Amino acid sequence: MQDTYSQDIIGAIQRRRSTYPVQFDSGHISDEIVMQLLSLAQFAPTHRITEPWRFTVIRPDSLATFADFIDSYYERIKGTDSYVERKHKKALQKIDQSSHIVAVILHRDPQERVPQWEEIASVAMAVQNIWIAAQSFGVGLYWSTPATRLIAGDYLELAKNETCLGFLYMGLSPKSAAEQRMRKSPEHYVTWK
């Protein structure tokens, strides 16, 4: 028999969903709520306490500057095999539909005391903490890993030991975004010996 606390945790995990920017309700999330969510990163597992997560928050009043940066990237690659007009338009729409955008950054341990994959996993677990809690704040999230993350270093002012792992698009979440999606049962991914 599970206690109420355990049921709440299991329920929060089961309700975690991607909410795409096109699904966001209009309006803005307060900076305080964004900060509360990001503060949950500190509870992610972190080998040798490297705490490799960093976040750069792009606020509503900075979204236009970020859109200009993204637009300039696509304008530079126009006419090449890498350019896809649909992706260009969609990237700008996602920015326009979001309240905040959070760059998810790997801050590699300068002494490299642990393998890089462990620090990437730690950052992903930090994001999962944020994602699980977001719904309780009425916040929808979508983690995107576009090619622009690879050239965002200058815009984000990243250090040499930092890499952008993607962007969390955040917005007010409609109730309908929490619909249950079919998932494989554990028998598909668990092996017993």
Q: At what angle do helices 116-134 and 4-15 cross, to 10 degrees?
A: 100
Tokens of 10: 């299991």
Residue 62 φ/ψ, nearest 5 degrees: -110, 0
Distance CA 141, CA 101 (A): 9
For residue 193, tell me if it sits in a domain: no
Three-state DSSP state, 174: coil
Task: Note the pLDDT of residue 1.
Answer: 63
Task: Note the pLDDT of residue 2.
Answer: 75
For residue 96, tell me if it sits in a domain: yes
Mean confidence (pLDDT) of the chain: 94
Task: Note the pLDDT of residue 179.
Answer: 60
- Residue 109 sits in a domain of what CATH number? 3.40.109.10
For residue 159, tell me if it sits in a domain: yes
Say which residue the tokens 């007009």 belong to. 85
Is the confidence at residue 178, as pLDDT, over 60?
no
54 close to 107: Cβ distance less than 8 angstroms: yes
Tokens of 47: 């080998």
Give the residue, 182 or 85, on which the prediction is more confident. Answer: 85
For residue 150, tell me if it sits in a domain: yes
Tokens of 123: 């950052």
- The model's pLDDT over 102-147, given as tens digits with 9 standing for 90+, comes to 999 999 999 999 999 999 999 999 999 999 999 889 999 999 999 9
Distance CA 48, CA 115 (A): 11
For residue 181, tell me if it sits in a domain: no
Q: Which domain holds residue 47?
A: 18-174
Distance CA 174, CA 17 (A): 12
Number of domains in the chain: 1
For residue 61, tell me if it sits in a domain: yes
- The model's pLDDT over 21-70, given as tens digits with 9 standing for 90+, comes to 999 999 999 999 999 999 999 999 999 999 999 999 999 999 999 999 99
Distance CA 49, CA 47 (A): 5
For residue 48, tell me if it sits in a domain: yes
For residue 190, tell me if it sits in a domain: no
- The model's pLDDT over 128-139, given as tens digits with 9 standing for 90+, comes to 999 999 988 999
**Residue 40, burial from CB neighbour count under 10 angstroms (0-12, 13-18, 19+):** middle
Which band of pLDDT confidence, cut at 50, 70 and 90, is reported for residue 174? confident
Q: How much of the chain, in percent, has pLDDT values that exceed 90? A: 83
Please name which of 32, 162, 171, 39 lies closest in space to residue 104, comparing C-alpha atoms: 162
CA angle, corner 51, sides to 106 and 102, nearest 5? Answer: 45
pTM: 0.92
Three-state DSSP state, 36: helix
138 close to 130: Cβ distance less than 8 angstroms: no
Task: Note the pLDDT of residue 124.
Answer: 98
Is the confidence at residue 177, as pLDDT, over 60?
no
